[in-house]
Amino acid sequence: TAKINDQNHLEIGGCDVVDLVKKFGTSLYIVDEQTLRTSARQYRDAFRKYYPGQSQVIYASKAWCCMAIASILATEEIGFDVVSGGELYTTTKALEMSNLGQEYIQDKIYLHGNNKSIAELELAIDSQCKIMVDNWLELENLAKLSAQKQTPVSILVRLTPGIECHTHEYIRTGSIDSKFGFDANQLEGVFTFAKEQEFINCIGLHAHIGSQIFELQPHHDLAGVLADWYKKALDYGLPMAELNVGGGLGIRYTESDDPPSIEQWVETVCKSVVKACQERDIPLPKLISEPGRSMVGSSTVTAYTVGGRKVIPDVRTYISVDGGMSDNPRPITYQSLYEVVIANKMTSPNTETVTVAGKHCESGDILVKNVALPETKEGDILVVLATGAYNYSMASNYNRLARPAAVLVNEGEANLIIRRETYDDLVKQDLLPSRLV
């Protein structure tokens, strides 16, 4: 729901971005509620359309975990993949505040992570969410803890599927050389052990192949690998009921990106799982998927104020903005590309090529290289598109920049959902030894 209004300004969710910036300052994440809800509904409805069995979409909270997003997605019946005590705490708190209680948590929250602490495992057991078990140490700890607490715990076993896909190597997770999950040669031992534990119910399997993936074939192949192991786990007598195929669908960051639609992705996943189960003559499991990026990525933009300019004749023109790698670490981390617009000059022709630099003390702190833009001057509002995923969630206070605010827009209404940090917030955790005071 973005458009250009009569003043030639960018308008999102019925709110003029220039007005939003006046009110909330920059850098500012602007979340369009309708776009967020649309992706949630597309996922949910496509599973209902293409999967004849039960299904549940769970949001990979790591993409952006905050209470407002959790609470909005919960109203769309989306569950949650959380990967730390902090994500579990944030999400359960949001659900409690939205009056979605224990039942939602037990049914729709899953704890991930390759090195969960004892405290995190205890928090998970106590909250009775489901746990994706990643390795032997964790499985043994869970067996002990659940027995001590005399509390049953439902687990899904994460396996390394050995499937390659084309994406940045830092965000590939399914290949054999991965820190995540059990290797194929460990699985039968895991099934035997799990079966013997009084308080462990091994109800499913999980695998995830990577992120920002545009191909559908790896997701198809994954269904076969998972179904093979699912059948084996059934043969071991485990109470298998769920199959989690991970997330990974890429989104469009720039014009050259051409990802499949959510519906196409879901169709592939569902048809592949149905076919794989039929071929092996096993009952259809409850099908879980855990999209992160494709759920929130396109819902959000980041607005910055343009500052100074440096022209290096015949080399490059830099324009600087008031944020950068602290609010969007993806370009410096993964060489990710983004599209930008000038929110107060939406219909002005592009007249120059500039490189948009952040304000951090690092040469690599570049948001976008060599982009054609209208002539900009100090005070213009530069907007980077599609920043909903892995931006705020990976934001830092590098150079002691305060983390930006986030505002939710919908039908002309703007609600602050994350406060801008203050200088006091920055020193809140700092202490001085008493002899220095």
Residues tagged in the binding site annotation for substrate? 293, 330, 334, 362, 390
If binding is defined by CB under 6 A, does position 294 make contact with ligand LLP? yes
The full length of the chain comes to 437
> Quick one: DSSP state of residue 333?
H
Number of H helices, E strands in the chain: 13, 20
Kindly report the number of other CB atoms within 10 A of residue 260's CB atom.
18
> Any residues with CB less than 8 A from the CB of 15 and at least 6 apart, and which?
30, 409, 412, 413, 414
Which of residues 91, 135, 212, 298 is near ligand LLP by CB under 6 A?
212
If binding is defined by CB under 6 A, does position 29 make contact with ligand LLP? no
If binding is defined by CB under 6 A, does position 63 make contact with ligand LLP? yes
Nearer to ligand LLP among residue 12 and residue 249 (C-beta): 249
If binding is defined by CB under 6 A, does position 247 make contact with ligand LLP? yes
Tokens (6 digits) for 215? 């191909």
If binding is defined by CB under 6 A, does position 112 make contact with ligand LLP? yes
Where do the H-state alpha helices sit in 98-216? 102-108, 118-127, 136-149, 184-196
> Any residues with CB less than 8 A from the CB of 53 and at least 6 apart, and which?
284, 285, 286, 287
Tokens 């057991």 locate to: 125
> Quick one: DSSP state of residue 249?
B
Q: Can you say how many angstroms the Cα of residue 272 is from the centroid of all Cα atoms in its chain?
A: 24
Nearer to ligand LLP among residue 305 and residue 336 (C-beta): 336
163-182 positions binding ligand LLP, by CB under 6 A: 171, 173
In angstroms, what is the minimal distance from the CB of 290 to ligand LLP? 4
Q: Is the dihedral of CA 289, 71, 262, 291 positive or negative?
A: negative
**310 exposure class (CB count in 10 Å sphere: 0-12, 13-18, 19+):** exposed
If binding is defined by CB under 6 A, does position 334 make contact with ligand LLP? yes
The answer to whether 16 and 26 have CB atoms below 8 angstroms apart is: no
If binding is defined by CB under 6 A, does position 159 make contact with ligand LLP? no
Q: Can you say how many angstroms the Cα of residue 413 is from the centroid of all Cα atoms in its chain?
A: 25
Tokens (6 digits) for 135? 């390795």
In angstroms, what is the minimal distance from the CB of 60 to ligand LLP? 3
If binding is defined by CB under 6 A, does position 208 make contact with ligand LLP? yes
Nearer to ligand LLP among residue 9 and residue 62 (C-beta): 62
In angstroms, what is the minimal distance from the CB of 347 to ligand LLP? 32
If binding is defined by CB under 6 A, does position 211 make contact with ligand LLP? yes
Nearer to ligand LLP among residue 18 and residue 163 (C-beta): 163
In angstroms, what is the minimal distance from the CB of 291 to ligand LLP? 4
| Binding site residue list for pyridoxal 5'-phosphate | 248, 290-293, 390
Which residue numbers are catalytic?
A: 361
Which of residues 9, 293, 360, 403 is near ligand LLP by CB under 6 A?
293
Backbone phi, psi, residue 117, to 5°: -80, 165
Contact mark string toward ligand LLP, 361..390, x via CB under 6 A: -----------------------------x
Interface region with ligand LLP, contact rule CB under 6 A, candidates 93-101, 291-299, 348-356, 359-367: 291-299
32-61 positions binding ligand LLP, by CB under 6 A: 60
Residue type, 135: N
The answer to whether 123 and 133 have CB atoms below 8 angstroms apart is: no
Nearer to ligand LLP among residue 17 and residue 181 (C-beta): 181
# binding residues, ligand LLP (CB under 6 A): 22
Residue 407 bridge partners (DSSP): 30, 416
In angstroms, what is the minimal distance from the CB of 389 to ligand LLP? 6
- Residues in the site for ligand LLP, rule: CB under 6 A? 60, 62-63, 81, 112, 171, 173, 208, 211-212, 246-249, 290-294, 330, 334, 390
